Amino acid sequence: MSRTLTPLSKALVSSYDKDYSEHHDQTISVNPLVAELASWYEKLRTAMDYRDDEVILRSAIERILKRRLLLGGNGQTIAAPLLRELVWARYFPDSSIPEITIAKVSQTIDLFLQLEEEINKKHRVNRNTVNDWILHLLSSEIEYILKPDNHKDLMSNYVYHIFKERIQIEDDTEEVKNIQTFIAVRRSYANDDLPFLRYHLFLQYFGKLTSHNFEATATHFMEGYRKIQEQLNYPLKNKLFVYVDSQKIPFLILDDILKKNQGRIASLMSDEDQMNLAVLNACSQRYKSVKERVRRAIIRSVIFIFFTKALFALFIEGAFENLVFGRVIWSSIILNTLTPPLLMVGVGLFIQTPSRDNSFKIQRKINSVLFDENPQLENPLLVRKKIKKIDPILWSLFIIFWLATFAVSFGALIFILTKLRFNPISQGVFIFFIAIVSFISYRINRTANMYLVKDGKENLASLLTDFFFMPFIQVGRKLTMAVSQINIILFIIDFIIEAPFKGIFAFFEQWLLFLRTQREKLD
């Protein structure tokens, strides 16, 4: 049966069928033993800095840049070691990065460092703010140099063009609506974090930084900075994000199908039976990957909680008990230590794979997106920037009810801990853990259900979760974000331990190379 793709879908299919790969002879190769040791270190380090999988590479690049720039490096001295560290840590397979990339990364580093210098000369601005932005932009640019994800950008653009026609902001301009739709798509489909969002908006405002637009970018940086910050802090951003995020599943599956069938996509699309089978197979593969992703997230979460939060909190608890009671009360410390990993394991036990009926729902949505001018997605979103006034009495009641949920949830937990003879500090540590674990468990549960097409109906379980656990989840989110900003352990690891540690790796690699050279002389 022959079917006709929409013009937008035809453009998408044509773009996916292109070959974006490049082939080079000379590549960066590292010693496998050093790479094994470095990769284990990197797994531990990334687990301590809780982030989504999609932004781990960029975060690692930023971390390495910070450490090497602190020692006074520049493009020439940083580029080659940076790429070797990334190959060591197995962000890239051995011999997969061409050596000519070193020069490109070196030039990029120097260009952005020069931009930072020019901005500080031309504008009265907080230097830490500029440095933060430059690191975000530079690390994002380097990731795109090393790992250009053309397919993700192609699909993000496709999703954007679909949803910008389905979103309306009554009391704001078309330009603002388009920017906010762009941000919502990048946050939801591409899973961009703040640095990536800044980078993509920077590109939209200034274009790719080159020697040609360098002076204009430096001169007008603060103007662009203010406009980008305004858009990132837009009051309706979360509402638009939730709207797009709830409908991204068909596009994730479609991306899998298009990548897997490059070179024969058009013929696949014209055969309805084969296309439907491809959708079902892609769904099945994604479902299988969920359990592995959840398992990895649970392991990382346990390490994250224990190393960056537990040691510090337990030190305070033990010191307090020793000072006040003359001894450490091990029962409460053991309970505080074991509760987080047990809760994480409990979350993993309740993970369920979506049913085949869910795959059929995705199948129908993909067919509608590809072949219908008006796809059968959720109803268009119509919002107002200026919220209509709510009855002050009703609003006060909502606030009282919301505060009551906090009082009931935290009050019940404090009551139970008091009955168990926990002292105030032990109670604080326990609540600290529960809040963070609740937030992380919520994130993991979202990951587990990321391919589940929801019907929008509320059930009793979700209502109870909102009432009893949402206070813990919200407090946990605040704690996780706040403590991550002042994480002393990570600072010590990044600037006191990691630098000599990576130096040992480099020395060890050179020594093994020397030994191999000596052996070759004997042949």
Two tokens, residue 280: 């079902």
- Contact 184/240 with Cβ under 8 angstroms? yes
Structure tokens at 314: 């337990």
Q: Which pLDDT belongs to residue 169?
A: 92
Put simply, whether the predicted model's pTM sits higher than 0.85 gets the answer: no
Specify the pLDDT at position 166.
92
Flag residues of the chain having pLDDT under 70.
1-2, 19-25, 31, 35, 44, 47-50, 304-318, 320-321, 324-333, 336-337, 340, 347-349, 351, 388-391, 455-468, 481-523
What is residue 254's predicted lDDT score, i.e. its pLDDT? 93
The two structure tokens encoding residue 351? 């993970």
Residue 328 burial (10 A CB sphere; 0-12, 13-18, 19+):
middle
Residue 98 is classified by DSSP as B
CA 439 to chain centre: 15
Find out whether 237 and 182 touch, Cβ atoms under 8 Å.
Answer: no
CA triplet 72, 73, 79: central angle to 5 degrees? 165
pLDDT for residue 511: 64
Q: Residue ranges per domain, the chain?
A: 24-252, 256-485
Beta pairing partners, 169:
383
Residue 522's H or E segment, with its range, is helix 498-522
Residues 6+ apart with CB under 8 A from 360: 280
The answer to whether 116 and 130 are in contact (CB under 8 A) is yes
pLDDT of amino acid 414: 87
Give the whole-angstrom CA distance, residue 424 versus residue 421. Answer: 9
Alpha carbon distance 93, 84 (integer Å): 11
Contact 206, 217 (CB under 8 A): yes
Task: Provide the pLDDT for residue 348.
Answer: 66
Helix, strand or coil for residue 168? strand
> Residue 163 has what pLDDT?
94
Q: If you search the block for the tokens 């950008």, which residue do you land on? A: 153
CA triple 29-31-32, angle to 5 deg: 105
pLDDT at 136: 96
Amino acid identity for residue 349 in this structure? L
Please give the pLDDT value at position 461: 60
Instruction: Give pLDDT tens digits for 118-140.
Output: 999 999 889 999 999 999 999 99
